[in-house]
Structure 1
Amino acid sequence: MDIKVDHISKAYGEQQVLQDLSCVFPEGKTTCIRGRSGCGKTTLIRLLLRLDVPDKGKIEGVGDRKLSAVFQEDRLCENLSAASNIRLVCTETITDRELEEAYKAVALTEIWQKPVRELSGGMRRRVSILRALLAESDCVIMDEPLRGLDEKTRAKTIDYILKKTEGKTLIFVTHEEKEAVWLKADRTVDILTKH
């Protein structure tokens, strides 16, 4: 089932963030959300994840889905290892070998038993990405997941994102045109104005 955003509006106090926005995220396809800072991209993600509710309008098609997400903040458990952070969201047992393959796929090596607090920002981003990709889900929502990664690492990580989201609905927020191209996005939602 497609996810349908139908004439939603959202304000925080006096600040109108989204105004009468409608769009569709097709089932099993990749959609990129683009727009300048402050236009409401993260607010839309929060609404899709049901962390917030629209003031007006409705969102259909997310109710029974298994969702996983990468937020702008890493939201990792600081004192746990990378492996433990990933295992927290995996309903089935994931083997050390599977984890090792995932780390290699995104250019992370020899970090999986270190506490997350000891990892660099780019390493933490990739642990967050792996956690979302390895969790059981049929829809993966990513809010600027590649922020802070160098171009070579971004390209490698995108390859793994494409592999792990094949056949799933992928909603991907980005500022960068080339990321949408690398992702071979089926469609783009441009949030054009800040209200």
Structure 2
Amino acid sequence: MALIAAEGLGVRFGAVQVLHDVSLRIEKGEIVTLVGPNGSGKSTLLRCLIGVQRPTRGRILKAAGLRVGYVPQKLHIDATLPLTVRRFLDLPHRVPEAEARAALEEAGAGHVMGRQMADLSGGQFQRVLLARAILSEPDILMLDEPTQGLDQPGAAGFYQSLEAIRGRLGCAVLLVSHDLHVVMSASDRVICLNGHVCCEGTPAVVSAAPAYRELFGTGTKGALALYRHQHDHADHAAHPHHHHHEEA
């Protein structure tokens, strides 16, 4: 039994069909990366899987008692609202001090416990969101573009933390990514989405697939285009080039 599966999922917003006949399964312990161009339905699919978006057709199946940890793409916290990291981890349920500290340490943000949420850098903020998501010891972690806006070392460090957490908890990880060339090295499976599942498989299989090259191989703006010229090298995941945005 998969931890979570989608069968024949369709989502329509008015006249726009965002997802069409999407099926996927995620098994215990695997890291699955979901990639696709803007508007391909990645976030909509994630919202269906966590249960906040109802599909127009098809169904979501979940293992009994499934615990999901969710790291949203963006979380806006009013800069005028006094909210420390420690208090944030107590939402919605109070967490013992030792557990809060351990989760922050594991997410790589052990030094920010007393800081204001509004004062954190982008990388620190994402790591605090990750800490909050792992407090429930989830069976599956779902993350929506968690490294967007981070520089390459920041993104790589975040993914290392994620791999270590997967190793300890044995949880599955579903990662919606804009940043294929960093993520793929850790992924057991990659799913390319463009309203429907275009291709899926191991990183090596997907990066050679015509459907993938059609989506990302020519003229794409942004991080995925940087991956293009490395397709034919065995070490395509090892030395990604990246613009520097913000430190983790």
Unpaired runs of at least 5, structure 2 = 197-248
Offset, 1:158:
1.2
Instruction: Determine the structure 1 residue equivalent to 2:203.
Output: none
Q: Which protein has the bigger helix share?
A: 2
> What is the TM-score of this pair, normalised by structure 2?
0.68
Corresponding position of 1:7: 8
**Whose Rg is larger?**
2
Which residue of the partner structure matches residue 235 of structure 2? none
Secondary structure of 1:165's partner? helix
Q: Is the 8 A contact 1:76 1:128 kept in 2?
A: no
1:119-157 per-residue CA deviation (whole Å, 9 max, x = no partner) reads 233322221122213333111100001111121122222
- Conserved? CA contact 1:90–1:136, under 8 Å: no
Higher relative contact order (CA 8 A, sep 6+): 1
* Residue of structure 1 equivalent to 2:71: 70
Matched pairs, number: 190
Q: 1:68 to 1:142 in 2, by over 3 A?
A: same
* Secondary structure at the counterpart of residue 125 of structure 1: helix
* 1:140–1:171 contact (8 Å) kept in structure 2: yes
Q: Which moved more, 1:112-121 or 1:45-54?
A: 112-121
Equivalent pair of 1:67/1:137 in contact (CA under 8 Å): yes
Letter in 1 for 2:70: A
Q: Which residue of 2 aligns with 1:172?
A: 175
| 1:53-132 equivalent positions in 2, closer than 5 A | 53-61=54-62, 64-74=65-75, 78-88=81-91, 93-95=96-98, 97-98=101-102, 101-102=105-106, 106=108, 108=109, 110-132=111-133
| Gap change, CA 1:172 and 1:91, over 3 Å in 2 | farther
In structure 1, the gaps of 5 or more residues are none
Distance between the aligned counterparts of 1:62 and 1:45, measured in 2?
Answer: 17
CA distance in 1, matches of 2:141, 2:129: 12
Of all paired residues, the percent bearing the same amino acid is: 26
